[in-house]
């Protein structure tokens, strides 16, 4: 890889890592867009079994160029170091979200927003899943592993492995086996990152993180992720109750509480995976319904049947 490219991608990498891996409250108070920080290494990942985490073999990886096109290079098997960013003598841990790209210790970087060039070059699904992985896995608020009989390095490295699977476009879902070979790097096994923790304590953390991601990503099946494609549901009048109502079944079994749907003039009750929306007030036209689940807004519409 050319030195010029290494320098560019390292800059983007460090900027992104600082912004996505640090806790929100810390960013707001001390670490933010425009801040200058320095790259740091914090030693190797050492599992609770006393062993380091490392590549099992050489493999190819993809990287994104500044123009958005994709390049390919080879990573040669070695141990993995924990990455961090330093400011005023304080080091915060970080997650690498571009596998294989050089990270130069001591180099200075300037923090960017989450709309920087590198993130915008990533496909939407990859951007989304990286954010979910970092919310459900390790971040600098994590003081100990939430998984029994594992240590912080196990949990940190498991988060790292999941992040690499996502960024390398190997992960197809949130199940442990939801992996597929990336056609751009056909010689790289789909399990290139999983193999590094298979049979090790971090494997339990890997499973924990994926399960959390699956639960986090679930939203009711009768809603949509965009206003333009929001489904419309018709409320029918019930003469015995003197209400307009509709019962919708959540095929995703998201277990979203009824209280999440704060719709003016509409009462919402939940029984199992069924949600009943009712109102005594006639709806004129279509009533747009917006609710927030897992920090993301979702949409659907209610309309009355004459």
Instruction: List pLDDT tens digits, range 92-149.
Output: 888 888 888 877 777 777 777 766 777 888 888 998 899 899 989 998 778 999 999 9
Domain end (from 192, 217, 242): 217
Q: Are residues 127 and 269 in the same domain?
A: no
Please report the pLDDT score of residue 306 as a whole number.
Answer: 47
Q: Are residues 36 and 81 in the same domain?
A: yes
Q: Which domain holds residue 130?
A: 3-217
Closest CA to 220 of 284, 299, 121: 299
The answer to the question of residue 222 being in a domain is no
Q: Which two tokens stand for residue 10?
A: 């390292």
Could you tell me if 96 and 13 are in contact, meaning their C-beta atoms sit under 8 angstroms apart?
A: yes
Cβ neighbours for 18, distance < 8 A, ≥ 6 positions apart: 31, 35, 37, 85, 92, 94, 109, 111
Q: Which two tokens stand for residue 237?
A: 């009048």
More confident residue, 299 or 188: 188
Could you tell me if 252 and 221 are in contact, meaning their C-beta atoms sit under 8 angstroms apart?
A: yes
Provide the pLDDT confidence category of residue 13 given band limits of 50, 70 and 90. Answer: very low
Residues of the chain above pLDDT 70, percent: 84
Q: Model confidence over 169-224: pLDDT tens digits?
A: 999 999 999 999 999 999 999 999 999 999 999 999 999 999 999 988 888 899 88
Q: Are residues 174 and 231 in the same domain?
A: no
What does residue 237 show for φ and ψ, rounded to 5 degrees? -80, 130
Q: Helices 124-136 and 3-21 meet at what angle, rounded to 10?
A: 50
Provide the pLDDT confidence category of residue 30 given band limits of 50, 70 and 90. Answer: low
Quote the pTM value: 0.76
What does residue 151 show for φ and ψ, rounded to 5 degrees? -110, 180
Domain end (from 163, 191, 217): 217
Q: Model confidence over 69-92: pLDDT tens digits?
A: 999 999 999 999 998 888 888 888
């Amino acid at each position: 890889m050319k030195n010029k490219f290494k320098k560019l991608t390292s800059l983007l990498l460090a900027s992104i890592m600082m912004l996505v891996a640090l806790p929100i409250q810390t960013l707001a108070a001390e670490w933010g867009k425009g801040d200058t920080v320095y790259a740091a290494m914090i030693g190797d990942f050492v599992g609770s079994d006393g062993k380091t985490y490392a590549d099992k073999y050489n493999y190819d990886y993809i990287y994104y160029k500044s123009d958005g096109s994709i390049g390919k290079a080879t990573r040669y098997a070695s141990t993995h170091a924990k990455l961090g960013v330093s400011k005023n003598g304080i080091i915060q841990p970080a997650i690498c979200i571009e596998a294989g790209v050089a990270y130069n210790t001591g180099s200075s970087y300037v923090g960017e927003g989450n709309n920087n060039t590198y993130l915008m070059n990533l496909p939407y699904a990859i951007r989304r899943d990286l954010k979910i992985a970092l919310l459900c896995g390790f971040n600098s608020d994590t003081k100990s592993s939430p998984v029994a009989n594992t240590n912080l390095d196990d949990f940190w490295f498991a988060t790292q492995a999941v992040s690499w699977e996502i960024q390398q476009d190997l992960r197809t879902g949130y199940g442990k086996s939801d992996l597929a070979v990336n056609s751009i790097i056909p010689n790289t096994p789909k399990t290139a990152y999983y193999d590094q923790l298979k049979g090790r304590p971090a494997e339990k953390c890997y499973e924990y993180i994926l399960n959390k991601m699956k639960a986090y990503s679930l939203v009711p099946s009768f809603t949509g992720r965009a206003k333009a494609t929001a489904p419309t549901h018709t409320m029918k009048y019930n003469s015995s109750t003197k209400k307009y109502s509709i019962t919708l079944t959540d095929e995703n079994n998201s277990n979203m509480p009824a209280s999440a749907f704060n719709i003016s003039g509409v009462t919402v009750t939940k029984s199992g995976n069924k949600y009943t929306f009712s109102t005594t007030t006639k709806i004129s036209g279509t009533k747009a319904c917006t609710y927030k689940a897992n920090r993301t807004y979702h949409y659907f519409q209610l309309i009355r049947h004459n």
